[in-house]
């Protein structure tokens, strides 16, 4: 199997989910006691958040590129960013290494297109919702992307950083997420991308979420499962070929 380099810690909850799901997928695909050959670097997320909010993206890009180089030098054959927002720096990072990046936007878009949808609602940090790096990746797959209003974006962003990244899911925040999703559905969204750590937990309710939203929800876990399936297929292709032909 090919070794994957994970750049995580942004926040660590999503990194733990990546580790779990990738290994589960390898077990299901390879059988026996197989598990994924992984190299991981986990950031102190407070340092990354401070770079984001101080507009020190160049410094962040240099740091992530250095980590990618170190993972490549240690034997990684592809890089995975265990975060949505830091895909803003994916071109900068990959310009410094010769190994590929398995991009979360492609996995998300492919899942949505496979379901037959084109118009999507996007939730995430303010950077993910307002800037072009993620939305343009989705549009490249012929998707029409809707985002919440400015006030709603501010609420979602605050909830992500102040609560979800700390493992907190307050009831008012859950209701806020549900209201924002319902508004996107009323505006024509056929599915919702929960594009940040913890969004899936925030969208759940003790009551049934609006049936239009439940019709298809591309949750963090569902999106992570598909991307991790892509990662594992890439990693195990050589091993499977050898077991079949060798």
What amino acid positions are annotated as catalytic residues? 83, 196
The answer to whether the CB of 223 falls within 8 A of the CB of 111 is yes
What is the distance in angstroms between the CA of the first residue and the CA of the last residue of the chain?
Answer: 14
Q: How many CB atoms lie within 10 A of CB 93?
A: 24
Cα angle vertex 60, ends 143, 78, to 5°?
Answer: 60
What SS3 string covers the chain? CCCEEEEECCCHHHHHHHHHHHHHHHHHHHCCCCCCCEEEEECCHHHHHHHHHCCCHHHHHHHHHHHHHHHHHCCCCEEEECCCHHHHHHHHHHCCCCCCECCHHHHHHHHHHHCCCCEEEEECCHHHHHCHHHHHHHHCCCCEEECCCHHHHHHHHHHHHHCHHHCCCCHHHHHHHHHHHHHHHHCCCCEEEECCCCHHHHHCCCCCCCHHHHHCEECHHHHHHHHHHHHHHHHHHHHHHHHHHC
């Amino acid at each position: 199997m090919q070794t994957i380099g994970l750049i995580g810690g942004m926040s660590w909850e999503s990194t733990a989910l990546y580790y779990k799901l990738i290994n589960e997928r390898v077990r299901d695909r390879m059988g026996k006691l197989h598990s994924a050959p992984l190299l991981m670097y986990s950031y102190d997320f407070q340092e990354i958040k401070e770079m984001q909010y101080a507009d020190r993206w160049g410094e962040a890009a240099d740091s992530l590129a250095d980590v990618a180089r170190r993972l490549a030098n240690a034997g990684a054959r592809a890089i995975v960013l265990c975060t949505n927002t830091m895909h803003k720096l994916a071109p900068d990072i990959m310009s410094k290494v010769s190994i590929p990046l398995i991009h979360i936007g492609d996995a998300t878009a492919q899942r949505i297109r496979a379901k037959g949808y084109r118009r999507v609602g996007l939730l995430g940090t303010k950077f993910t919702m307002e800037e072009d790096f993620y939305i343009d990746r989705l549009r490249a797959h012929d998707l029409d992307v809707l985002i919440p209003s400015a006030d709603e974006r501010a609420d979602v962003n605050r909830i992500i950083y102040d609560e979800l990244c700390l493992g907190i899911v307050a009831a008012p925040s859950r209701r806020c997420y549900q209201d924002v999703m319902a508004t996107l559905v009323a505006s024509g969204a056929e599915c919702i991308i929960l594009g940040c750590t913890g969004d899936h937990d925030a969208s759940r309710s003790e009551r049934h979420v609006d049936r239009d939203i439940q019709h298809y929800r591309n949750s963090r876990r569902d999106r992570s499962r598909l991307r991790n399936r892509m990662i594992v297929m890439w990693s195990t292709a050589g091993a499977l070929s050898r077991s079949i032909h060798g």
